[in-house]
Amino acid sequence: MLPLGYREIAFETIGSTSDEARRLAGLGADHGTVVWALEQIAGHGRRGRVWASPPGNLYCSVILRPDCALAAASELSMVAAVALGDTLAELLPHSDKVRLKWPNDVLVDGAKIAGMLLECDTGADGRVDAVVLGIGMNLVSAPQIARYPTISLADLDIFIEPEAMLHRVIGHLDRWFTQWQQHGFEPVRAAWLDVAFQLGHQIELARGEEILSGRFADIGQGGALLLENEGELVSVFGGEWTTNRSAPASGL
Domain ranges of the chain: 7-194, 202-241
Contacts 24+ apart (CB under 8 A), 223-232: 223/74, 223/75, 223/77, 223/78, 223/102, 223/103, 225/102, 225/103, 227/203
Q: Who has greater pLDDT, 237 or 94?
A: 237
Note the pLDDT of residue 44.
Answer: 58
Thinking of the domain 202-241, which architecture would CATH place it in? Roll (2.30)
Q: What's the N-to-C CA distance of the chain in angstroms? A: 25
pLDDT digits (tens, 9 = 90+) for 133-185: 999 999 999 988 766 799 999 999 999 999 999 999 999 999 999 999 999 99
Q: Which of 79, 87, 194 lies closest to 137 in space, CA to CA?
A: 87
Other CB atoms within a 10 A radius of the CB of residue 78 amount to 26
Q: Who has greater pLDDT, 195 or 53?
A: 195
Burial environment of residue 18 by CB neighbours within 10 A (0 to 12, 13 to 18, 19 or more): buried
pLDDT digits (tens, 9 = 90+) for 96-146: 789 999 999 999 999 999 999 999 988 878 789 999 999 999 999 998 876
pTM: 0.90
Which CATH number is associated with domain 7-194?
Answer: 3.30.930.10
